[in-house]
Chain A
Amino acid sequence: MPADHPDIRVVLAEDGVLLREGLAGLLTRFGFRTVALAGDARELAAAVAGHAPDLVITDIRMPPTFTDEGLRAAAELRRTYPGLAVVVLSQYVQRAYAADLLDSGDGHGVGYLLKERVGDVEEFVAALRRVAAGGTVVDPQVISQLLRRRRDPLLTLSAREREVLALMAEGHSNAAIARQLVITDAAVGKHVGNILFKLRLPQTDDTNRRVLAVLAYLRNGA
């Protein structure tokens, strides 16, 4: 695989042995360097302390309570190591959890994805790289939950603008949105401008500032 990215050093926490090994193999294939594997939150904390990784990938649900210890560990690690990028994987997604994660640190360098997204290999790897670079990635299912909640000014958006808004909120750049919707960059730019105007959000070309503004809007209102 192309080595145009410097190695991203990863600590991977997942209690299922087969899946952990499989994921580690996937990461290696795409040029990530897995520096430590962890099977629970305690091992994760120790591995981060010992290896100072660039990125943590963790399952949300691990021993001993099998509830949300991965998430709590991730939030705690981000308090201890500001700037540590974290991707949390879960077999179901929950906007309350997304909120906890986005509120840890300043929302930069976090990702929250359904676990099976690992099967959309190239997109998954791209999401990991975006988060490692300080971006914010939120699973499409969380975004659709948020979109369903907010009805008022969103109703003024066209169907296409809603599609673009969802992709913006998931953390995609204009270029990536253009590729997914098979439209030109200029068309995306125009939609984005209209959306920000209609929702009275600040116009900005900085993808991550825009992601955070859109997410804040969807969660709390303007």
Chain B
Amino acid sequence: MSRSRARLADAFEAERRRIERDLHDGAQQKLVGLIMKLGLARLDLPAGSPAAEAVAAAHDQAKQLMAELRALIHGIQPQVLADLGLPAALDELTDQSLIPVTVDARLDGRLPGHVENTVYFAAAEALTNIAKHSGATHATVTARLHDGLLILEVTDNGRGGADTGRGTGLTGLADRVAVAGGRMLLSSPPGGPTILRVEAPCPQTTPTSG
């Protein structure tokens, strides 16, 4: 049972990578070419002419599309996670957080792809929830490997009272963790602190096959 679940999680993971790769080598690459052509065209048109204005608008739209495409791809498969692994990706996640976050991820080598993905998206979801609902001024993310389990803990100093029943974020997160054969535990007494713990089975720490 747990083996077939792991196979399923790996299949999802491989599919995500394929989609990301297709977008990167296809749509994104062509869009860069388009942006370059429009940029060059702008140089050739007389400043202030109607054609120059139209091309400038198209150029800006293409650049906007590029930013949106990049955000979409990042949501499917963050490149930093695929390239550099979990500690670097968790560290990068804190850049986007609205409140200060301390990360302490001590992991040697790479973990299986589906474990890295599950834990990364769990941390991302937890930090989003904290910023939206907790009123916290600080959060801590720790990741450890212990007895074949990868243990992620996200702690905040907010008002507590978080509930997996309310809001779909935590429920969706629990489901995602379950697909990886793991479990999610939440402790959030009124007044805080809130501790979200994710445990995911993690058989080995050899480099993933990609």
Contact = CB atoms under 8 A, between A and B. Distances in A.
Most buried by A among B29, B59, B210: B29
- Looking at chain B's contact residues, the main secondary structure is helix
Give the contact-size bracket for chain A. 20 to 34
Given A68-B83, A119-B32, A121-B39, 10 more contacts: A19-B29, A22-B36, A66-B21, A67-B82, A92-B73, A92-B74, A118-B39, A121-B36, A122-B43, A148-B96
B83 A120 contact: no
A17 to B, nearest CB: 10
A19 B100 contact: no
B63 interface: yes
A67 B33 CA distance: 21
7 contacts: A16-B29, A91-B28, A92-B74, A118-B36, A145-B95, A148-B96, A151-B100
A19 B32 contact: yes
Interface string B24-48: 1100111111011111101100000
Contact of B36 (A67, A119, A149): A119
B37 A22 contact: yes
A148 B84 CA distance: 21
B32 A94 contact: no
Contact of A22 (B25, B33, B70, B79): B33
Contacts of B84: 94, 96
Contacts of B96: 148
